[in-house]
Amino acid sequence: MLLDDKALDDLIEESRDLQSDAMRSIAEPLGALGELGRERRASGAVDAEEGRLFASQRRTVLRNSLRQGGKLLTGFGVGAALLRLLESPALAQQPPDVQILQTAASLENLAVATYQAALSLPFVQAAPNTPTGIGLIKVFADTTMRQHAEHARAFNGAVTKLGGREQTQPNAVMLQVVNRARPGLTGPGPLVDLALELEQTATEDYVAGIASLSDVNGRTVMASIVGVESQHAALLRAAKALLAADAATLITLAPPVDAARLPEAAGNVGFPDTFVGTAKARADEEGAVS
Partner 1 sequence: MQITERELDTLTRDLDEMHKASLAVLGQELEELAEKAAAATTTRRRFLLAGGFGAGAALALVACTDDNGGGPGAAGTGATTTTAPPLSDDARFIAMSASLENLAVATYDAAIKAVQENRLGGVPPAVVRFAGTVMRQHKDHADAFNAIVTRAGVPAVTGPDEVVKPLVDSEFAKVQDVAGLARLARVLENTAAATYQDGMARVSDRDSIRRLASVQPVERQHAAILSYILGEYPIPDTFSSTTKQGEEARPASDFKG
Residues that bind partner 1 (CB under 8 A): 1-5, 8, 37, 41, 131, 143-144, 146-147, 150-151, 154, 203, 206-207, 210-211, 216, 219-220, 223-235, 238, 253-257, 259-268, 270-271, 273-277
Give whichever of 235 and 289 is closer to partner 1, judged by the CB atom. 235
Minimum CB distance to partner 1, residue 175 (Å): 23
Task: Give the whole-angstrom CA distance, residue 223 versus residue 210.
Answer: 7
What distances in angstroms separate CA 129 from CA 126, 141, 189, 247, 254, one per listed residue?
9, 12, 19, 19, 11
Nearer to partner 1, 13 or 87 (CB): 13
Using only the alpha carbons of the chain, give its radius of gyration: 29
Dist. CA 152–CA 160, nearest whole Å: 12
Q: Which is nearer to partner 1, 180 or 261 (CB)?
A: 261
The nearest distance, CB 227 to partner 1, in angstroms, is 4
How many beta carbons lie within 10 A of that of residue 274, not counting itself? 5
> In terms of CB distance, is 178 or 257 closer to partner 1?
257
Q: How far is the CB of 198 from partner 1 (least distance, A)?
A: 15
Residue 213 CB, shortest distance to partner 1, in Å, is 9
Q: How far is the CB of 150 from partner 1 (least distance, A)?
A: 5
Residues 195 and 189: beta-carbon distance below 8 Å: no
Calpha distance 163→166 (Å, rounded): 9
CB of 95 to partner 1, least distance (A): 17
Rounded CA separation 54/33 (Å): 8
Q: Please report, to the nearest 10 degrees, the dihedral formed by the alpha carbons of residues 143, 148, 158, 215 taken in order.
A: 110
From the CB of 1, what's the least distance to partner 1, in Å?
A: 5
**Residue spans of alpha helices (H) in 120-133:** 122-125
CB-based contacts of 255: which residues, under 8 Å, 6+ apart? 132
Which residue, 169 or 220, is less far from partner 1 as judged by CB? 220
- For partner 1, give the closer residue by CB, 62 or 175: 62
Q: How far apart are CA 133 and CA 176, in angstroms?
A: 29
Query: Smaller CB distance to partner 1: residue 174 or 235?
Result: 235
